[in-house]
């Protein structure tokens, strides 16, 4: 009797912990209830779902794509969730690649070159907590690689998930996702939306709500803090707000980011700034009290976001994303850190250092201080360096310099940087206009632009007053010569006007003038651009 009673209590507790509260209640919403436009669904994503279903597996479009479809937006990326394992998914597609260690997923690739598209396919994850992990691991993803070997699920002492490759059901997978509006599944064939956590209602209410206890979810993966900021910024234009319970733990949880590898934080920062919502993201960080303390380089972005040059760069990045144009993190970071480079460069020039070595030293100093070893020594750092080193070269528009500069792989990025500098008044706009015309011209037109500029420079030089060496006024000579005549003789002019033969003329020795008589003539010397 007692055993039965205890058994009932255990069953009841188990049902309560694994029931509706944790996993939600499955709801299937048909076309009449969600009004998703099938035309907005990418055909290649639909093909991935169809292929998996024909092979006998469950498959749905999932995550942000479903959220955007419900809002009437065309998603930029499509993810698929299935009960097939990564190996089973890979076997069904000609170009499919298993990636990741922490979370193994499959990239199904369509097309080649710039036109290629990647459909990310993930296997339903099981709902796991600290008690069911393989082991408690000290450290983070980088320091614990050896400890993580062979584990399918591991967490650290704080509850942060370090590895999770345990497969489960769809309802468990939904419970593991972050926000309710990102935890819905859509079948493009039946047009049914599967919802476990009232995501459809939250999307209608314009509410961004974390599934489960927000503080616990931030401990599981502190990067969710940055995701909350990013989604809050992205959806703010549509009227979405963060649920108070979701927003409240953010500031306190920020300290958890100290244990996240710098490389991962760097990647999340780039997502925050380069998904078309850089300006709203900065506003969101300030609004939530997260303007400092997430990542040092991100702190600099927030600090300088109101400066004309950085503000223009952030707005330009958002504009290009909205227009479907490519953006590069190297360009935006080059804009953000230009203040440091320019300050170090000018300080070295003031000490008399040559322009280009001074610029190189200033760049090295900025890399060491601001970027360190996180991507700063790789391609991103090389691209930033090239953008900066181009800037003094734009000042030189003679000879072959314009032609060789225009052939540089990063010329367009360097020119866009120059254009932004002109837009904020840092340099003469005429310089940016000339290079814009040069970049769009053919070879013949480029030759003409260089010739016209050279002719204009020569005309300007001729219009400048000639250099003269002034001689101090002197009394007339015994022969009755005036000072003007003496000056004429000194310059070799006026021979024909003089009645006295040149061989009988008496030359006066000039007295030292103490400075060369260069008064007011410095404006006639063209700057080389090195100072």
Q: What pLDDT, in 10s, does the model give residues 144-171?
A: 555 555 555 555 555 556 556 678 899 9
User: Do residues 346 and 400 share a domain?
Assistant: yes
Name the domain count of the chain: 4
Inter-CA distances, 430 with 275, 395, 406, 438, 519, Å? 32, 11, 18, 12, 30
User: Do residues 244 and 95 share a domain?
Assistant: no
In the block, tokens 């002034």 appear at: 470
CATH number at residue 68: 3.30.460.10
Q: Is 373 a catalytic residue?
A: no
pLDDT band at 514 (very low <50, low <70, confident <90, very high): very low
How far is Cα 510 from Cα 472, in angstroms, rounded to an integer? 8
Lowest mean pLDDT among 70-74, 219-223, 496-500: 496-500
Please identify which of the residues 77, 129, 299, 361 carries the catalytic annotation.
77
The predicted structure's pLDDT at residue 140: 56
Residue 343 domain flag: yes
User: Do residues 277 and 344 share a domain?
Assistant: no
The domain in which residue 360 lies consists of 329-462
Which residue, 462, 489, 524, sits at the end of a domain? Answer: 462
User: Do residues 223 and 152 share a domain?
Assistant: no
Q: What is the 3-state secondary structure (H, E, C) of 54-112?
A: HCCCCEEEECHHHHHHHCCCCCCCCEEEECCCHHHHHHHCCCEEEECCCCCEEEEEECC
Q: Is 68 a catalytic residue?
A: no
Q: Check whether 460 has a pLDDT greater than 90.
A: no
Mean pLDDT of 235-250: 94
pTM over 0.75: no
The predicted structure's pLDDT at residue 182: 94
Residue 98 domain flag: yes
Q: Check whether 385 has a pLDDT greater than 50.
A: yes
Inter-CA distances, 13 with 10, 86, 132, 275, Å? 5, 34, 17, 44
Tens digits of residue pLDDT in 300-342: 999 999 999 999 999 999 999 999 898 999 999 999 999 999 9
The predicted structure's pLDDT at residue 380: 87
Inter-CA distances, 392 with 347, 386, 454, Å? 16, 11, 19
User: Do residues 51 and 141 share a domain?
Assistant: no
Residue 71 domain flag: yes
User: Do residues 348 and 391 share a domain?
Assistant: yes
Let me know: does 9 contact 166? Beta carbons within 8 Å. Answer: no
User: Do residues 253 and 345 share a domain?
Assistant: no
Strands across the sheet with 161-164, in order? 136-137, 153-156, 161-164
In percent, the amount of the chain with pLDDT more than 90 equals: 62
Residue 179 domain flag: yes
The predicted structure's pLDDT at residue 498: 40
Mean pLDDT of 130-140: 53
Mean pLDDT of 277-282: 95
Which residue, 305, 338, 361, sits at the end of a domain? Answer: 305
Q: Is 77 a catalytic residue?
A: yes
User: Do residues 277 and 247 share a domain?
Assistant: yes
Residue 421 domain flag: yes
Please identify which of the residues 42, 68, 79, 164 carries the catalytic annotation.
79
- Backbone torsions φ then ψ of 330, nearest 5 degrees: -60, -40
pLDDT band at 65 (very low <50, low <70, confident <90, very high): very high
Tens digits of residue pLDDT in 84-128: 999 999 999 999 999 987 788 999 999 876 667 899 999 998 876
User: Do residues 294 and 259 share a domain?
Assistant: yes
The predicted structure's pLDDT at residue 338: 97
Q: Check whether 2 has a pLDDT greater than 80.
A: no
318-321's contacts with Cβ under 8 Å and 24+ in sequence apart are 318/276, 318/277, 318/278, 318/279, 321/274, 321/275, 321/276
User: Do residues 263 and 298 share a domain?
Assistant: yes
Tens digits of residue pLDDT in 175-188: 989 999 999 999 99
How far is Cα 166 from Cα 407, in angstroms, rounded to an integer? 51
User: Do residues 380 and 252 share a domain?
Assistant: no
CATH number at residue 341: 1.10.3090.10
Please identify which of the residues 68, 156, 178, 318 carries the catalytic annotation.
178
The predicted structure's pLDDT at residue 18: 43
CATH number at residue 301: 1.10.110
Residue 490 domain flag: no
Residue 280 domain flag: yes
Mean pLDDT of 233-243: 93
Residue 319 domain flag: no
Q: Check whether 35 has a pLDDT greater than 80.
A: yes
pLDDT band at 206 (very low <50, low <70, confident <90, very high): very high
User: Do residues 283 and 359 share a domain?
Assistant: no
């Amino acid at each position: 009797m007692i055993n039965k009673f205890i058994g009932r209590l255990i069953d009841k507790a188990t049902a309560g912990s694994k029931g509706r509260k944790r996993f939600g209640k499955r709801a299937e919403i048909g076309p009449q209830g969600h009004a998703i436009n099938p035309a907005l669904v990418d055909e290649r994503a639909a093909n991935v779902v169809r292929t998996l279903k024909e092979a006998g597996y469950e498959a749905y479009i999932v995550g942000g794509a479903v959220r955007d479809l419900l809002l009437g937006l065309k998603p930029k990326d499509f993810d698929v969730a299935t009960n097939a394992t990564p190996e089973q998914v890979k076997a069904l597609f000609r170009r499919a690649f298993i990636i990741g260690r922490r979370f193994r997923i499959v990239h199904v690739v369509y097309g080649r070159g710039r036109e290629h598209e990647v459909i990310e396919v993930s296997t339903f994850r099981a709902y796991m907590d600290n008690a069911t992990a393989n082991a408690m691991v000290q450290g983070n993803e980088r320091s614990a690689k050896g400890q993580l070997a062979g584990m399918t699920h591991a967490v650290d002492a704080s509850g942060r998930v370090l590895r999770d490759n345990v497969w489960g059901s769809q309802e468990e997978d939904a419970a593991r996702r972050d926000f309710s509006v990102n935890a819905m599944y859509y079948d493009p064939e039946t047009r049914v939306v599967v919802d476990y956590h009232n995501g459809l209602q939250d999307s209608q209410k314009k509410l961004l709500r974390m599934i489960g206890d927000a503080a616990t979810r931030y401990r599981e993966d502190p990067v969710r803090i940055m995701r909350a900021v990013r989604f809050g910024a992205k959806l703010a234009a549509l009227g979405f707000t963060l649920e108070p319970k979701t927003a409240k733990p953010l500031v306190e949880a920020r300290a958890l980011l100290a244990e996240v590898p710098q490389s991962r934080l760097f990647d999340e920062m780039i997502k925050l700034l380069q998904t078309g919502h850089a300006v709203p993201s900065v506003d969101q960080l300030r609004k939530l009290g997260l303007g400092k303390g997430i990542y040092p380089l991100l702190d600099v972005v927030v600090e300088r976001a109101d400066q004309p040059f950085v503000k223009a760069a952030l707005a330009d990045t958002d504009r290009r994303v909205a227009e479907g144009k490519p953006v590069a993190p190297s360009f935006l970071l080059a804009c953000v850190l230009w203040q440091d480079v320019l300050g170090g460069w000018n300080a070295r020039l003031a000490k008399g250092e040559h322009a280009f070595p001074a610029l190189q030293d200033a760049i090295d100093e900025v890399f060491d201080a601001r970027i360190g070893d996180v991507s700063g020594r790789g391609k991103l750092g090389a691209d930033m360096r090239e953008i900066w080193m181009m800037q003094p070269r734009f000042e030189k528009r003679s000879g072959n310099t314009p032609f060789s500069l225009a052939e540089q792989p990063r010329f367009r990025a360097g020119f866009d940087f120059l254009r932004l500098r002109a837009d904020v008044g840092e340099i003469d706009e005429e310089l940016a206009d000339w290079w814009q015309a040069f970049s769009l011209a053919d070879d013949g037109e480029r030759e003409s632009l260089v010739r016209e500029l050279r002719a204009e420079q020569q005309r300007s030089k001729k219009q400048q007053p000639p250099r003269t060496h002034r001689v101090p006024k002197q009394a007339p000579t015994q022969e009755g010569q005036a000072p003007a005549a003496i000056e004429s003789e000194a310059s070799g002019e006026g021979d024909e006007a003089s009645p006295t033969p040149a061989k009988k003329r008496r030359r006066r020795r000039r007295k030292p003038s103490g400075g060369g008589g260069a008064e007011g003539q410095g404006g006639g010397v063209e700057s080389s651009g090195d100072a």
